[in-house]
Amino acid sequence: MKVWDLFVRVAHWCLAACVLAAWITGELKLKSVERPHEWLGYAVLVVVALRFVWGWIGPQYARFGQFVVGPSRTLSYAKAALRGEEPRYLGHNPLGGCMIVALLVAAALASMSGWLSITDRFWGVDWVQDAHRVLGDAVIVLAAVHVAGVVYTSLRQGENLAAAMWSGVKRQAGPGDIA
């Protein structure tokens, strides 16, 4: 069944590509890639802003209210996952929802700190540069944990979640699944 709409899927893969490209261009430390690095950061901000809006007005599985749950439910799901007893969610599971919020916030903060670092007021200010570097690295670490979670959940549930995020389609809900 169709779960993730076109906007969510395009935003997901655009954000992934922009973050990866921004990280690579940042690591190269070449004058020739400074401008592309900046523009990738702006693109990240645009995608994150649009995704936040879509999280409030988009269809069911795009909405934050569908996958952002409280800490106790998230912790309960994490414990069940560690025991190998977690339920299958049609949309994002509680840990996935937590990761979405963490990635969107960290990517936005990394991009904003990068923008601040090239303003007249904060040009060359060490703490802004340091914050940008730490936040950029945090986004990469979060992305790696996200990919590991996708692989783990895909294997546990016998469903290729990366392919589902590409096509938008997952198998129908079965007994015990949470729609």
Q: How far is CA 105 from CA 19, 108, 110, in A?
A: 13, 5, 9
pTM for the whole structure: 0.92
What average pLDDT does range 78-92 have in this prediction?
94
Confidence at residue 106, expressed as pLDDT on a 0 to 100 scale: 98
What average pLDDT does range 77-82 have in this prediction?
94
Torsion of CA 112, 30, 11, 68, to 10 degrees: -50
Q: Name, in order, each residue with C-beta under 8 angstroms of 70's C-beta and a sequence gap of 6 or more.
A: none
Q: Is the pLDDT assigned to residue 167 strictly greater than 90?
A: yes
- The per-residue pLDDT for range 23-61, each reduced to its tens digit, is 999 999 899 999 999 999 999 999 999 999 999 999 999
- The per-residue pLDDT for range 151-165, each reduced to its tens digit, is 999 999 999 999 999
Burial string for 102-121 (b: 16+ CB within 10 Å, else e) reads: ebbbbbbbbbbbbbbbeeee
**Helix runs in the chain, H state only:** 6-28, 34-57, 64-67, 71-83, 94-117, 126-157, 161-167
What average pLDDT does range 7-29 have in this prediction?
96
Confidence at residue 28, expressed as pLDDT on a 0 to 100 scale: 93
Q: Which amino acid, 53? A: V
Q: Is the pLDDT assigned to residue 98 strictly greater than 90?
A: yes
Confidence at residue 179, expressed as pLDDT on a 0 to 100 scale: 87
Q: What burial class does residue 56 get, using C-beta atoms within 10 Å of its C-beta: 0-12 exposed, 13-18 middle, 19+ buried?
A: exposed
Confidence at residue 25, expressed as pLDDT on a 0 to 100 scale: 95
